[in-house]
Amino acid sequence: AQKVTQTQTSISVVEKTTVTMDCVYETRDSSYFLFWYKQTASGEIVFLIRQDSYKKENATVGHYSLNFQKPKSSIGLIITATQIEDSAVYFCAMRTHSNYQLIWGSGTKLIIKP
Amino acid sequence: EAGVTQSPRYAVLQEGQAVSFWCDPISGHDTLYWYQQPRDQGPQLLVYFRDEAVIDNSQLPSDRFSAVRPKGTNSTLKIQSAKQGDTATYLCASRLGQSQNTLYFGAGTRLSVL
């Protein structure tokens, strides 16, 4: 079975700090792709960052980076120097070569306080 | 490059009414998805096209929902005789070709069925 699990339903931090959101996944495929998306209050879903399973280096885009721990089937999202506008729901998702569908986690609501 | 465009942004219906949602994917993207996202949940796939062909509509409630993509570009999702349980955000997404490519989303249509 293929599954993506986000156990943190909500996180609240003070702005300008670093936050980590957890995500674990299950798949028997040897090749897979992991994505993080952000859903803003308006409902728009925005692609943030991805990690391909065959890459050992953690992906980094702007103030987003990933902590990819393949043996633990874990792909954490790290946001450094958080800003108020980072407040949103963050979804982790996975796609494998054998399944064209994007499998979604349940999302983590991030609240950035001034 | 223009993103995925959806219209309308909002729709409010009485039960039994019909509604259509329109999606213009990113230019050149051959694959197009329609998702339904109930409140406080992750997106759930309804139907998936590659060019004009329906690849998978197994999760589309076929008695009331229909989707077309006649020229392999724009797509329309229609709900006949809406029910209160159809209240959700309807998201369109597109990507180019290969399964490893990133999925990009439109802003969505928020549907309320009273």
Which SS3 state, helix, strand or coil, does residue B5 take? strand
- Nearest CA to CA, how far is B14 from chain A (Å)? 22
User: For A26, left (φ over 0), alpha (ψ -120 to 50), or beta?
Assistant: beta
Neighbouring residues of B50: CB distance < 8 A, sequence distance ≥ 6: B30, B31
Task: Decide if A36 contacts A90 (C-beta within 8 A).
Answer: yes
| Nearest CA-CA distance, residue B70 and chain A, Å | 22
**Residues 54..83 of A with a Cβ closer than 8 Å to B: which?**
none
pLDDT in tens, B27-36: 999 999 999 9
Mean pLDDT of all residues belonging to chain A: 94
Predicted confidence (pLDDT) at residue B61 exceeds the cutoff of 80: yes
pLDDT beyond 90 at A39: yes
What DSSP character marks residue A98? T
Give A27 to chain B, closest Cα distance, Å: 15
Residue of A100, A101, A106, A109 to mutate when probing chain B, most B C-beta within 10 A: A100
Q: Does B41 sit within 8 Å of A106, measured CB to CB?
A: yes
Q: Which of A37-41, B26-30, B58-62, B74-78 has the highest mean pLDDT?
A: B74-78
Chain A residues in contact with B45 by the CB 8 A cut-off are 101-102
Q: Residue A50: which of B45, B102, B106 has the nearest Cβ? A: B102
Given a cut of 90, is residue B47 above it in pLDDT?
Answer: yes
Of A33, A44, A91, which is closest to B107 when you measure between CB atoms? A44
pLDDT given at position B98: 64
A18 vs B34: CA distance, rounded Å:
34
Model confidence at B100: pLDDT above 70: no
Contacts of A42 in chain B (CB under 8 A): 107
B-chain CB neighbours of A104 within 8 Å are: 42-43
Between B41, B56, B105, which is nearest A45 by CB? Answer: B105
Q: How confident is the model at residue B40 (pLDDT cuts 50, 70, 90)?
A: confident
What is the distance between the alpha carbons of residues A87 and B47, in angstroms, rounded to a whole number? 30
User: Chain B: which residues have CB within 8 Å of chain A?
Assistant: 41-43, 45, 48, 55-56, 89, 91, 93, 99-100, 102-108, 110
| The pLDDT of residue A30 is above 80 | yes
Asked if B91's CB is within 8 angstroms of A101's CB, the reply is no
Please compute the mean of the pLDDT values over residues A41-66 and round it to a whole number.
Answer: 93
Looking at residue A21, what is its pLDDT? Answer: 98
Residue among A68, A67, A105, A111 nearest A88 (CA):
A111
How far apart are the C-alpha atoms of B24 and B7, rounded to whole Å?
9
pLDDT in tens, A6-17: 999 999 999 999
